[in-house]
Amino acid sequence: MKASTKEEWLHDVFWSWSDSASTHGKAGARDKFQSLTLTMTHRPTNTIVTRSSAFVPNKSDQLAKLRQKMWSELLQELQQEVLSHHEPAA
């Protein structure tokens, strides 16, 4: 199994990809799958959100689409979490 990690800052948001490729099923099977985990942290508020997807076919076009979708959705979720912590009490 191979694993890789990518980490970067985007203004006050730290994001980290973690993935691993492995072969599942019978010995010698050629079906390769990859699991993906994306974690985003808003540094000033220390708000953390994570999303994972397991057993994604290890095909670059499908992985690129899934990464883009996960990144967009998780960034929106992080934004909502941060804003909900800054809303004034009624």
pLDDT in tens, 6-29: 656 567 888 898 887 655 555 544
Q: pTM for the whole thing? A: 0.69
Residue 26's identity, in one-letter code, is: K
- Residue 89 has a pLDDT of 56
Query: How many CB atoms neighbour CB 68 within 10 A?
Result: 10
pLDDT above 50 for 32 = yes
- Interatomic CA distance for residues 64 and 30, integer angstroms: 21
Asked whether 35 and 55 are in contact (CB, 8 A), the reply is yes
- Interatomic CA distance for residues 31 and 47, integer angstroms: 37
Average pLDDT across the chain, whole number: 79
pLDDT classification of 39: cutoffs 50, 70, 90: very high
